[in-house]
Structure formats: structure tokens, C-alpha cells
Amino acid sequence: MRALLSVENKEGLVSFAQGLQSLGVELIATGRTAATLAAASIPVTQVSDLTGFPEILGGRVKTLHPAIHGGILAKRDEPGQMEQLAEHGIAPIDLVVCNLYPFVETIAQPGISLEQALEQVDVGGVTLLRAAAKNFQHVVVVVRPGDYETVLREVQEHGAVHLETRRRLAAYAFQHTASYDTHIATYLRQLDGDLFPDEFTVAMEKLQPLRYGENPHQEGAFYSWKKVGPSSTSSTAPTQRRNSGSLAPATPQQMPSVADAVVLQGKELSFNNILDLDAALNTVASFTAPTAVIIKHTNPCGLACDKEHLVEAYKRAHQGDPVSAYGGIIGFNRSVDAATAAELTPIFYEAIIAPGYEPEALEILRNKKNLRLLSTNAVIGPPATRSAFAPWQLDVRRVSGGFLVQTPDLLTEQDLHCRVVTEREPTLEEVTDLLFAWKAVKHVKSNAIVLAKKLMVIGVGAGQTNRVYSVQIAVEKAADRARGSVLASDAYFPFSDGVEAAAKAGVTAIIQPGGSIRDDEAIRMANRYAIAMLVTGQRHFRH
């Protein structure tokens, strides 16, 4: 049995090679891999000795030779192919151990030039992996150091690696090279700002399996869209580890995400937990003041800001809908302090996501052992200005037979150009609440209506089949608090009935996109009740 080893990642290499040697496997290796083995006193044959041709072009060409690929690709059960090997003096290669140049890790470094990036595009390694994987019935291909033990054990116990194992390893090798090529293509597309190529692949990394999907009869797993670029960081599976307490500045290229968050404690995250945590994070990231949100079924049932104190924002968010808050997911855009932690402990919540947690807050929250605590370890807030979107920021949604892909709804305050269309202009206090409500409504499922007062959501109408129903639900939830409140609508009012329902409940100002053929009717209805109305010209559908 002969093995070819050519690895960039030397983890576990020496012990694996020693295990192979003890089983009588002849070892062949490329330059630095061979040097590592030789330094450990492991007998090894250089690839250049096998091919009779030196490595050239600074190592760009090492294994691209018939003496290598003939030995890998030959079908052992076809006499004609084996005779050709013998005719040319080529011996079969039965095991290929290879991992690739660190392309992603290289381009993650600041100041890397295109030329430097291209030097980390592996050609020979990818070819080795694909050749071995193609011939997996006869050749074992290993990419991950984590598979070394399995291969050694099966050879020790059975004299060969099981066909099922070889097929599984081959599938991983093909997936690995596909992901590797995707990273390269993504990097090159970013240079041109091409977000929507004719052919589109994404490289996902499994963070963790899930107990089930949305329902117990569905299977599920959590994947991260691995980032490629100067601000990228390798995603790591959420693990129980100590919060570092340091906050890295958020950038348009590296906004905090649930996938990158660290799980500090609590039960295993579920499919639905992750969806709600993402909604919570996206919601509080729209605000600069201390903000708290309580999410139920991806909709905010409570949301509030405070000028100074996070605990006050949380109290008011809870007051927005205390019945629905039970069992919700909380998001904060400030590190959780002891006062906030103490305030929320009497109520059952599923999970919290925040930039971090003060030590005293962690001590309080850890008394609720099942409460999941996630830390982004990065500032949560809106970008100061719009910038080019990175591919991993795209919103990707599945439909039957395909995917819909779009840029995210990330308009900044600088992009908002409101105009007053009613006889009465809003007061300064109304404008403040209208802008707050406008930020909130984009996180509510369409048809979306939000009632707000004093930077606090007091009523939400979400996901209804017509807009007046959403208004009625929001008004019903707000009850007496609706009087003197403002209303935000994610899209225009197709009829004036929604405006009238709000007016009768005591709403004094409205912000909405406009654009209906019946805008004049909605404006007349607002004037009839002395409501101030702002039109944005932008909508925030969230289907």
C-alpha cells in the first residue's frame, strides 16, 4: 500500500504518518510535508524522486505528472489499465492525504494584494483530491486531520478502509474543493462588485446539528455563510466559552451575526431559537440609543429605546406587550448590566443576544441555567453610511425549485427623505416617535403596522391579509395607550379605512411610503382628523 501526503495543515501529520508506517505503508510526500516527516525520522520518498522531475515554478508544479495521477486514477479491476501502469513503470497510489493552501485565511489579512491572493490558489492539491475522490472505489482520499484516526483504525482492524468510508471521504473531498473554488470566485467577484453572477454558489460551513427543524418531525442543521475578504473571520461553532468582554467595531463588511455569536450558557439552540435570535439582532441593530426588543415568532412584540439606560429600555419594551413577552427572545444593542439582568430574571425567556455581558450580569443570569446567552463580542448598531454589500450579506430565500437573492433592507437615516403631505405638520415629539416607529416597522411581517409612543412600541399588527386588519390588531393591543400615539405602515394605505381606524383610536401622526392611487383619499382622511402624515417614498415589505 502506498500513500501520497501533501498537506498545508500539519496538524496530526506526524502521528498519522507513524501509524501508516507501522502498518507497512510506503510514504510519498511533497516538499515541506516531506521535510516535516524527515525531521521526525519517518522514511519518506520525495515526489520529485518518484516523477524524476524537480518541483518547478517556485513549487507551482509538483504533483501534476503521470507518475502521480496515473497511480491514483488507474482502475485496479481493469487489467488493461494496470498493464499500462506496468508498461510505464508506475505503481498504484492507494491513499491520498491532502489539504489546500490557506486562500481564505490569506485574503482575510489586511493589505493583501491580488497577486498575493492568487499565489494561494491551490492547483495541484485540488487536482489530487478530485482524482482520488473520482477513483474512491480503489483510493482513499483524506482532507481533514479529524479523519486520520478512522482511516488508521479501519486499516488496522480490516486491512483496508471500508467502501462506505471511502465514499463518504470522497464526497467530502468534492464538497471541499467546490467550497474552495467558491471562495476564490467570490473574492474575484467582490473586486468587481458582482453580487448576482449567472452561476451562483455559496460556501457554507456547518456550525452545529439541530435536534430538529421547525417541528420535531423535521431534521435540521445550522450553517454559516463563510465570509471571504479583508474583514472576514472564520466562523466557529457556537461553544460554551468565556466572554472576552472586548468589542470590535462593526463594519459594513463584518456586521455581527448569530452565526458568529458565542453561546455563553443555556440549552442547545433550536431551529426556531436561531430564527428569533436573528430577528432580535437585526431589530436592535437599527437603533443607536440603548434599545431592547422582545421577539415572538420573528416579530417584535415589545421594542423600546431609552436615552441612557438599557434597563429602562427593557422595562418599556416589556410593557409594550407583557402577555406576549413570555417565552420570547430578547435582543439588546448594549452590553447587559446587572440592573437589566435583575429586571428580566422573574420572567421566562428562551434566549438573549447582546454585544456582551458585565460580570455581575452574568452572575445573575447564570442562575437561570436553561436561559441561552449569546454574545456577539462586537458593537451592534446601524452602519454610519451605506456601502457595497458583501456577498454573505445577501438575503437568500428558498422557493420551490430555486432561491430568491436580494440585497438586505439596510437603508440609513441619510437615505430617508420624508415630506409632509397633510395640512398639519407633526410636532418635534411626533417626528421623534415617527422615525422610531419607521425603524421598527421594517422588522414586522407584512402587512405591518406599528403604534409607538415615547420611543416605545405599544401595538403591532403583523402578517395580515389586508392593512386595515393590521391597524385594528395594533389598536386593540395598544388599547387606551393608542390615544396620542403615532403609526408607521410598511407600505401604502390602499384605502382610507386604515387611516380612519387609526384616527378613531386616537393616533395623531402617521408615517407611510405613499404611492397608492388613492393617496389623496388617505390624506383627506388624515386632514379630517387633524392627523399629521409623513410620506417616505420607501417601503419596508417583509414577507
Indicate the residue type of 69: H
Q: According to the model, what pLDDT value does residue 195 have?
A: 82
Q: According to the model, what pLDDT value does residue 388 have?
A: 61
Question: What domains lie within the chain, and their CATH numbers?
Answer: 2-192 (3.40.50.1380), 236-375 (3.40.140.20), 416-535 (3.40.140.20)
Looking only at the bridges linking them, the beta strands covering 95-99 and 2-7 are parallel
At 23-54, the pLDDT tens digits run 999 999 988 999 999 999 999 998 888 888 87
Bond preceding residue 447 cis, omega within 30 of 0: yes
> Going by C-beta distance under 8 Å and a sequence separation of 6 or more, which residues neighbour residue 238?
207, 208, 261, 262, 263, 269, 374
Q: Which three cell numbers stand for residue 109?
A: 489579512
Question: Could you tell me which of 520, 527, 460, 523 has the C-alpha nearest to residue 488?
Answer: 460
- Distance (Å, whole) CA 196 – CA 201: 10
Q: Which three cell numbers stand for residue 111?
A: 493589505
Contact 298, 279 (CB under 8 A): yes
SS3 label, residue 497: helix
- Is 62 a catalytic site residue? no
- 543 residues of the chain, pLDDT tens digit each: 899 999 999 999 999 999 999 999 999 998 899 999 999 999 999 888 888 887 778 777 778 888 888 999 999 888 998 998 899 988 999 999 999 999 999 988 888 899 999 999 989 999 999 999 999 999 999 999 999 999 999 999 999 999 999 999 999 999 999 999 999 999 988 888 888 888 888 888 999 999 999 999 999 999 988 777 654 443 333 443 333 333 333 333 467 899 999 999 999 999 999 999 999 999 999 999 999 999 999 999 999 999 999 999 999 999 999 999 999 999 999 999 999 999 999 999 999 999 999 999 999 999 999 999 999 999 999 876 666 667 777 888 888 888 888 888 887 777 888 999 999 999 999 999 999 999 999 999 999 999 999 999 999 999 999 999 999 999 999 999 999 999 999 999 999 999 999 999 999 999 999 999 999 999 999 999 999 999 999 998 988
**Residue 514: left if φ>0, alpha if ψ -120 to 50, beta else—which one?**
left
Give, for 68, the enclosing helix (H) or strand (E). Answer: helix 66-73
Q: According to the model, what pLDDT value does residue 16 have?
A: 95
The string of DSSP codes covering 324-352 is HHTT-EEEESS-B-HHHHHHHTTS--SEE
- Distance (Å, whole) CA 95 – CA 35: 19
Q: According to the model, what pLDDT value does residue 386 have?
A: 62
Angle of the 519-528 helix axis to the 497-505 helix axis, nearest 10: 20
- Among the listed residues 134, 267, 309, 368, the single catalytic one is 134
Q: According to the model, what pLDDT value does residue 436 have?
A: 97
Our CA dihedral for 34, 38, 43, 48, rounded to 10 degrees, sits at: 30
Looking only at the bridges linking them, the beta strands covering 2-7 and 26-29 are parallel
Question: Could you tell me which of 335, 405, 330 has the C-alpha nearest to residue 371?
Answer: 330
Q: Which three cell numbers stand for residue 527?
A: 386632514
Q: Residue 103 CA to chain centroid, in angstroms?
A: 20
Burial status of residue 515 (CB atoms within 10 A of its CB: 0-12, 13-18, 19 or more): middle
At 444-470, the pLDDT tens digits run 999 999 999 999 999 999 999 999 999
> Going by C-beta distance under 8 Å and a sequence separation of 6 or more, which residues neighbour residue 4?
28, 29, 47, 63, 68, 72, 93, 95, 96, 97, 98, 128
Question: Could you tell me which of 181, 200, 176 has the C-alpha nearest to residue 121?
Answer: 181
| 332 bridge partner residues | 292
Residue 46, φ and ψ in degrees, nearest 5: -70, 145
Q: Residue 259 CA to chain centroid, in angstroms?
A: 5
Q: Residue 15 CA to chain centroid, in angstroms?
A: 35
- Distance (Å, whole) CA 118 – CA 330: 44
- Distance (Å, whole) CA 235 – CA 254: 12
> Going by C-beta distance under 8 Å and a sequence separation of 6 or more, which residues neighbour residue 119?
none
Q: Is the dihedral of CA 400, 406, 408, 412 positive or negative?
A: negative
Indicate the residue type of 304: A
pTM for the model:
0.85
Indicate the residue type of 346: P
Residue with cell 428580566: 344
Residue 318, φ and ψ in degrees, nearest 5: -65, -40
Q: According to the model, what pLDDT value does residue 384 have?
A: 67
> Going by C-beta distance under 8 Å and a sequence separation of 6 or more, which residues neighbour residue 216?
none
Strands (E), 104-249: 140-142, 204-210, 220-225
Q: Which three cell numbers stand for residue 11?
A: 496538524
- Is 134 a catalytic site residue? yes
The string of DSSP codes covering 311-331 is HHHHHHHHHH-HHHHTT-EEE
Q: Which three cell numbers stand for residue 69?
A: 495521477
Give, for 98, the enclosing helix (H) or strand (E). Answer: strand 95-99
- Distance (Å, whole) CA 530 – CA 480: 19
- Among the listed residues 69, 138, 267, 297, the single catalytic one is 297
Contact 480, 431 (CB under 8 A): no
Q: According to the model, what pLDDT value does residue 232 have?
A: 45
